[in-house]
Structure 1
Amino acid sequence: MLATCDGSADQIRVYTVEDSTVGRKGDYCFRATAASGYLTLELPRVFALETGDHPISADLTANGATTTVDVAEGGFESVGEGTVGGARSVLVEIRVTG
């Protein structure tokens, strides 16, 4: 579920390119309340994912293709335009995997 970013171990943090003209913040946090589950959403301009106590798998779309990224417990992963030559990406699903 959507949560206030506070550095809690059970949070998943999604970093985006902030844009006040469309109301997009620079980061969004989600709290995992179970060992598994998923959230479907559309969050544009995502450039990194960070996990706490729960590993995740995330789907991102860019240029008509979907990419799945796995992030280990306590991990950080650059994605989309956060990587060298990466395309602007939209986060479309987060899955807690453990």
Structure 2
Amino acid sequence: MKARKAILRTFGAAAGASALAWFAIAGGVTGVSAADTSSMKAVADEGPGYAIEDFAYPNADKILAERHITLKRGDGHILLADCGSATDLLEVWGRKNEKTCFSVTGTSGYLTLEIPAVYFIQGNSYNTQVEMSAGAEEKTFEVKKNDWTPVGESADAQGRDFMLMEIRTAK
């Protein structure tokens, strides 16, 4: 009998608390005019803005000014690096910039850029493909893993300057 009374008291207290909570929520806020609620609703309906990733290379303007390299877009898996700062770097050799290095991470990556007069690339442990152009002509070169690959003028019968336009990597 005592257990039954305890259960009924607990149930009654829970029902009372539920009713109070419902009245507080449903009864709403008192003393707020219709104009006030419409302004609150408009702010709530707007919601946060959208973040849109454009894949633009960070600090590209500064890098262009300091190193004369145009870094355009990428997925973040091929990054400009200080040569000698790590092992397994991709080295791009050109007439105007001499040596430019890139670190590569992840299972695949891409970077669009412009480095003029590139003639050699030393590969790293990734399968690497580069797109280059000389005027209107475009060429694709497969870069040898962990070895030197002649590209651009050193692979061109006419010895023309080629601009490095894109790097793609895969494990």
> TM class, shorter-chain normalised?
0.7 to 0.9
**Structure 1 runs, 4 residues or longer, greater than 3 Å off:** none
What is the one-letter code of the residue matched to 1:67? K
**TM-score for the superposition, normalised by structure 1:** 0.84
The answer to whether the Cα contact below 8 Å between 1:59 and 1:68 also exists between their aligned partners in 2 is yes
Code of the aligned partner of 2:101? C
Aligned-residue Cα RMSD (Å) equals: 1.6
1:1-98 pair list within 5 angstroms: 1-6=79-84, 8-18=86-96, 25-83=97-155, 84-98=157-171
1:10 Cα deviation from its structure 2 partner: 2.3
Calculate the TM-score normalised by the size of structure 2: 0.50
Q: Distance in 1 between matches of 2:107 and 2:128?
A: 10
How far apart in 2 are the matches of 1:51 and 1:7? 16
Q: Is the 8 A contact 1:63 1:87 kept in 2?
A: no
Task: Give me the whole-angstrom Cα distance separating, in 2, the residues matched to 1:44 and 1:89.
Answer: 6
- Normalized per residue, which structure has more helix? 2
Of residues 4-13 and 45-54 in structure 1, the stretch that sits farther from structure 2 once superposed is: 4-13
Q: Which has the bigger relative contact order, CA under 8 A and spacing at least 6? A: 1
2:90–2:101 CA contact under 8 A, matched in 1: yes
The 1:70–1:14 alpha-carbon spacing in structure 2 relative to 1, beyond 3 Å, is: same
Code of the aligned partner of 1:54 = Y
Query: What percent identity do the matched residue pairs reach?
Result: 30
Asked if 2 retains the 8 angstrom alpha-carbon contact of 1:79 and 1:86, the reply is no
Q: Which has the larger radius of gyration?
A: 2
* Richer in strand (by share): 1
Which amino acid counterpart does residue 167 of structure 2 have in structure 1? I
Unpaired segments ≥5 residues, structure 1: 19-24
Cα distance between partner residues in 1 of 2:107 and 2:86? 16
In structure 2, C-alpha distance between the alignment counterparts of 1:71 and 1:60, rounded to whole Å: 12
1:42-64 deviations in Å (ceiling 9; x for gaps): 11010111112112000000131
What amino acid maps onto 1:3 in structure 2? A
The C-alpha deviation readout for 1:16-54, integer Å capped at 9, x for no partner, is: 003xxxxxx311000001121101001101011111211
User: CA separation in 2, counterparts of 1:40 and 1:95?
Assistant: 9
